[in-house]
Amino acid sequence: MTADHASAGPADRAGAAGHAGHSHGPSRDLQRKALWIALVANAGFLGAEVVGGLVFHSLALLADAAHMFSDVVGLSIALVAQQLLSRQATARHTYGLQRSEVLGGQFNGLTLLAVAGWVIYEAIHRLGQPASVEGGGMLVVAFLGLLVNVGSAVMLARARGRSINMRGAFLHMAVDAVGSVAAIAAAVAILFWKAEWADPAVSLAVAVLVIWSAWSLLKATTNVMLEGAPGDVDLAEVEAALKADSKVSDVHHTHLWSLASDVTAFSGHVVLEEGSSLHQAQVEGDRLKAMLADRFHIDHATIELECHSCTPDPADAPPVHSH
């Protein structure tokens, strides 16, 4: 007896995209709302920061403005990706467009790297030829930027859950907040000690932080694209939990991966104790899938139930006739 109760039929595919929303975290409607608010706030302040950087000759402000521009682009991409997540599954895309948010996260990581490269280039040039910076105006603009960045980062942090797309948007805001703090520090150094070199110096420090953030984001999104196991679920623990069930005698051929950053999938063969009927096997399979969802937040589980190991026994092999 072999039964597979988790394979998706037509009805399951039609609701797959909606089903993914029960991933034990903030709703995707809440995430979209947070992204919209952050986008409007950052787009509104972007112009002010560009003008401030040009008027006060501050590379730190221009660097933060460039990063804020990448924020606006990144938040827009994140919103598009989040919207694609809500698309219903089809016969061609049976899980919907779950990985669109991973692509959005990768795009955000690449834009972070591009911004860091530009800031490093400009900062190195200015270290040799420091520009005259108006510290007072720079301080006011940087402080206002900090308020926008911190408010956006806090809001996105509350709504991000396990989503890589939301994590990418949050990283943009968090790094921008650090950039604003660095710009404030540079402005204070210029006002009190005439340290013009502080402007490009803090820009370099922020660029290093941007590269670190981008690398961690690209690493996480690439792991999802390569169907690696999610970092917050241990396959060995999942196997142990299944084997601990009194009706299970063995577990093998297990696989664990992410359909999207916040939607974990599992497949495996589970050998039940001898004598289970088809009905009993189905009841047991449903119970095991409920346990996986509750303990490990595994949203999609495909369990192949067996009454004995699928490894062929040499004694059962057909005889070989010589001619």
CATH of the domain at 88: 1.20.1510.10
Of the residues 225, 259, 280, the one at which a domain ends: 225
Mean pLDDT of 31-60: 87
Q: Could you identify the residue written with the tokens 């006011």? A: 140
Q: What is the pLDDT of residues 171-211, one digit of tens each?
A: 878 888 888 898 899 899 989 988 888 888 888 888 888 89
Q: Are the C-beta atoms of residues 74 and 221 closer than 8 Å to each other?
A: no
Residue 61's identity, in one-letter code, is L
* Inside any domain, residue 255: yes
Please state, in angstroms and rounded to a whole number, the distance separating the CA atoms of residues 254 and 250: 11
243 vs 21, residue with greater confidence: 243
Q: What is the pLDDT of residues 127-136, one digit of tens each?
A: 887 777 788 8
3-class SS at 259? strand
Please state, in angstroms and rounded to a whole number, the distance separating the CA atoms of residues 101 and 163: 8
Through-space distance between the first and last CA atoms of the chain, rounded to whole angstroms:
36
Of the residues 181, 204, 225, the one at which a domain ends: 225
Q: Could you identify the residue written with the tokens 């063969």? A: 269
- The yes-or-no verdict on residue 125 having pLDDT over 50 is yes
180: how many CB neighbours lie within 10 A of its CB?
Answer: 27
Please state, in angstroms and rounded to a whole number, the distance separating the CA atoms of residues 149 and 45: 10
Please tell me the predicted confidence (pLDDT) of residue 322: 55
Instruction: Work out the burial of residue 310: count CB atoms within 10 Å of its CB; fewer than 13 is exposed, 13-18 middle, 19 or more buried.
Output: exposed
Please state, in angstroms and rounded to a whole number, the distance separating the CA atoms of residues 49 and 201: 19
Residues 38 and 162 in one domain: yes
Strands ordered across the beta sheet of 263-272: 2-4, 298-306, 263-272, 248-260
Q: Are the C-beta atoms of residues 193 and 72 closer than 8 Å to each other?
A: no
CATH number at residue 236: 3.30.70.1350
* Inside any domain, residue 322: no
Please state, in angstroms and rounded to a whole number, the distance separating the CA atoms of residues 250 and 271: 5
pLDDT bracket for residue 11 (50, 70, 90): very low
Q: Could you identify the residue written with the tokens 């050998």? A: 271
CA distances from 90 to 94, 95, 104, 281 (A): 5, 8, 21, 30
Residues 213 and 252 in one domain: no
3-class SS at 263? strand
- The yes-or-no verdict on residue 3 having pLDDT over 90 is no
Residues 182 and 146 in one domain: yes
Residues 190 and 238 in one domain: no
Residues 133 and 246 in one domain: no
Residues 152 and 280 in one domain: no
CA distances from 140 to 123, 156, 228 (A): 21, 25, 46
Q: What is the pLDDT of residues 279-310, one digit of tens each?
A: 889 999 999 999 999 999 998 999 999 987 66
pLDDT bracket for residue 315 (50, 70, 90): low
Residues 154 and 295 in one domain: no
- The yes-or-no verdict on residue 120 having pLDDT over 60 is yes
- The yes-or-no verdict on residue 19 having pLDDT over 50 is no
Which backbone phi and psi does 129 adopt, to 5 degrees?
-135, 75
Residues 201 and 236 in one domain: no
- The yes-or-no verdict on residue 276 having pLDDT over 70 is yes
* Inside any domain, residue 206: yes
Least confident of 8-17, 148-157, 253-262: 8-17
* Inside any domain, residue 295: yes
- The yes-or-no verdict on residue 267 having pLDDT over 90 is yes
Residues 159 and 248 in one domain: no
Q: Cα 308–311–313 angle (5° rounding)?
A: 90
Residues 111 and 62 in one domain: yes
CA distances from 18 to 43, 86, 95, 101, 288 (A): 31, 7, 10, 15, 22
Q: Cα 53–186–50 angle (5° rounding)?
A: 10
Give the domain range for residue 169: 10-225
Residues 103 and 235 in one domain: no
3-class SS at 1? coil
Q: What total of structural domains would you count in the chain?
A: 2
* Inside any domain, residue 102: yes
Of the residues 193, 225, 257, the one at which a domain ends: 225
Please state, in angstroms and rounded to a whole number, the distance separating the CA atoms of residues 135 and 147: 18
Residues 276 and 155 in one domain: no
* Inside any domain, residue 169: yes
Dihedral sign for Cα atoms in the order 227, 232, 235, 239: negative
* Inside any domain, residue 316: no
pLDDT bracket for residue 312 (50, 70, 90): low
Please state, in angstroms and rounded to a whole number, the distance separating the CA atoms of residues 226 and 219: 11
Q: Are the C-beta atoms of residues 229 and 256 closer than 8 Å to each other?
A: yes
* Inside any domain, residue 239: yes
